[in-house]
Every structure is written in C-alpha cells, then in structure tokens.
C-alpha cells in the first residue's frame, strides 16, 4: 500500500480520512454480507422452484387418477333417465 505521510495533513484531515476509511470498510463488509445472503436466497429459490415443480406434477397425476376413476363410475339414475 502507499505510505501516508501524516505530517503534511492537519489532525482534522487525518481524522476525516480515518472516518472515511472506516465507512469504506463497513460498506465492503455490507456488500460481502449482501452477496452471501443473495447466494443463499438463490439456493433457497432453486430448491423451492424444484419442490413446486414436483408438487405440480403430483397434483396433475392425482387429477388424472381421479378423472380416470370418475369415468369408470356408472352413470347416475338421472343421467340414465335423460339418456333414455
């Protein structure tokens, strides 16, 4: 890193420099934390998307089984009378 020669700066400027340096460090930590959180959220979203696709598939299968069972049921008396 570049050496900072403090004798050319006033105490106030040095203090402001340190405050700015601390704020930059905090900002870098926050950015890193947000990147980690974003990655975790993406993983969670991918897992939930896969689970949603699985559940949708299971619902479709159940719907098809129920529809097939309904087709096998005999027609009700009202339907028989209407057909006659």
Per-residue pLDDT tens for 24-71?
A: 999 999 999 999 999 999 999 999 999 999 999 999 999 999 999 999
- Please state, in angstroms and as integers, the Cα–Cα distance from residue 34 to each residue in 20, 25, 45, 46, 83, following that order: 21, 14, 16, 18, 67
Q: Is pTM beyond 0.75 here? A: no
pLDDT tens, position by position, 68-83: 999 999 987 666 666 6
Quote the tokens at residue 7: 């004798």
User: What token pair was written down for 33?
Assistant: 């934390």
Backbone angles phi, psi at 2, to 5 degrees: -75, 135
3-state helix, strand, coil in the chain (%, to 5): 85, 0, 15
């Amino acid at each position: 890193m570049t050496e900072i020669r403090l004798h050319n700066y006033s105490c106030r400027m040095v203090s402001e420099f340190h405050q700015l340096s601390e704020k930059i460090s905090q900002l870098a930590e926050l950015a890193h934390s947000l990147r980690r959180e974003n990655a975790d959220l993406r993983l969670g979203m991918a897992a939930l998307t896969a689970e949603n696709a699985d559940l949708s598939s299971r619902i479709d299968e159940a719907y098809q089984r129920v529809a097939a069972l309904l087709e096998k049921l005999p027609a009700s008396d009202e339907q028989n009378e209407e057909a006659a």
